[in-house]
Structure 1
Amino acid sequence: MVRSYSKISQRYSMWDSFRNTRIKLLEEAISEGKVDEKIIPLLKKINENKDLVTISSCYGRIVLLGFDVAKTKKTSTFYQKWHRRVSEEEVELALANYTGRLPLWFKVEPFILHVAAKDMPAAIDFLTKMRKAGVKRGGIQGIQKDRANIEMQGTISLAFPVDAFEGSWNDMIAMANKMMELNEKQVKKLERIKW
């Protein structure tokens, strides 16, 4: 009996140490301006639950990315990224000034969060709440002695090579901004959950 209690106690102290480290790293990243401002309220809300801790996040973004589909992801380079809605002028100016060698892609990417849960019941509870909030893309990505790692991601996305686009940038930017607005509504909905 003492042994099993000792193992449980050790697992929770490992969790507490891991969680405290992650919270400190997040606080440092926030103070250095390395965290997307609009996702900070959600991160803080999730971190109020002692059985959870956020590991990484992105609020969602509009991106111009140099990328060659014939090569690996390692060859991609961010040319321009905005974690907000953009103007047609911003995008057209960025396109006009692009001098990279890789084909340029226009992308809209949804929010993404990585969260660690203390144990499987906490992970399942998190996933249940996530799905009730309307987020369908997510799941357990890995299990370690002291935690389960979860990924949660929005579904709003768009990607195409700039050279192949023949439409109106005004219409495309309006669509991208609408997608960012929907992404923002999803994040706000997640903020209202009692994690």
Structure 2
Amino acid sequence: MDRSSEFRRWKAQCLSKADLSRKGSVDEDVVELVQLLNGREQFFTTSSCAGRIILLDRDINGSEVQKQNYCWLLVTHKPCVKDDVIVALKKANGDAILKFEPLVLHVQCRQLQDAQILAVRSTHGLEVPLTHKGKLMVTEEYINFLIKIANQKMEENKKRIERFYNCLQHALEKETISMTSYPKEKIKEKNNSSYTHKKKRNPEKACGKYITEENNKELDNDDHDDPGISVTIFPEDY
């Protein structure tokens, strides 16, 4: 079985699986983006989050900041209010942290040149400790201030998703037009030439700045037979 056939088989298997996320479905703000990618033969999404505000309580016995040591006190994909955070904080027994996390979208790509279309990232986040060993360390006024910042980031994140969708759609349409404008022999020759050139430049170094630490770990753990490349996408300075 060639790599293209293997990729199609792997894509069909992945998209047919049940959604195992906490929510159990794709977030409303990224449905169109996910559909756009999954509608293209060279991509498929493996996980996504449109962006969220969360309040986590870390186990005081935990020695590292890891998700498995956290209790989820509050999570929302919409702007939140101070009262909800205050109520949730009353359940904290350890070190509670208020976080805003922007869009995260993991995409499996058929080949390197497909991944390069999507290989962008963002540092548009927020993470602030609020309690220590269950004791509130900040004032309600400060909590209200943080929530305003988180909500502003949520709104900006939504705008970035819309802009990213439009730019990606334009890029894919342009690619389709380009592919249909040249004879297949020329396309194959051009792709092979492009790949050979990038290979000489050391592809790991050339693409390294686009792959996050989290994805490096994922790539290290993947089987060597995997027919795709996993990247997290979102424009850093969009």
**Alignment root-mean-square deviation, CA:** 2.2
| 1:53 match | 44
| 2:16 match | 24
| 1:119 match | 111
| 1:165 match | 138
| 2:151 match | 177
Aligned counterparts of 1:42 and 1:10: Cα–Cα separation in 2: 28
| 1:104 match | 96
Structure showing greater radius of gyration is 2
Aligned pairs, number: 158
Query: Which of 50, 63, 79 is matched with 1:85 structurally?
Result: 79
Q: Which consecutive residues of structure 1, in runs of 5 or more, have no partner in the other structure?
A: 1-8, 131-136, 138-153
% identical equivalent positions: 26
The CA deviation string for residues 59-109 of structure 1, in whole angstroms up to 9 with x for no partner, is: 11111101258612131222211111111222122223x1x4321111111
The CA deviation string for residues 32-54 of structure 1, in whole angstroms up to 9 with x for no partner, is: 84322222111111222211111
TM-score by length of 1: 0.72
Q: Which consecutive residues of structure 2, in runs of 5 or more, have no partner in the other structure?
A: 132-136, 173-238
- Code of the residue aligned with 1:161 in structure 2: it is P
The farther-off stretch of 117-126 and 161-170 is 161-170
Q: Secondary structure at the match of 2:89?
A: helix
Please state if 1:15 is matched with 2:16: no
Q: Secondary structure at the match of 2:56?
A: strand
The CA deviation string for residues 7-59 of structure 1, in whole angstroms up to 9 with x for no partner, is: xx52111100011122323xx539x8432222211111122221111111111
- Code of the residue aligned with 2:82 in structure 1: it is E
Please state if 1:63 is matched with 2:37: no
| Structure 2 contact 100–127 (Cα < 8 Å) conserved | yes
- TM-superposed deviation, 1:176: 0.8
The structure in which a higher percent of residues are strand is 1
Q: Secondary structure at the match of 2:105?
A: strand
| Structure 2 contact 58–95 (Cα < 8 Å) conserved | yes
- TM-superposed deviation, 1:180: 0.4
| 1:37 match | 28
| Structure 2 contact 47–107 (Cα < 8 Å) conserved | yes
| Structure 2 contact 37–45 (Cα < 8 Å) conserved | yes
Aligned counterparts of 2:59 and 2:15: Cα–Cα separation in 1: 37
- TM-superposed deviation, 1:124: 1.7
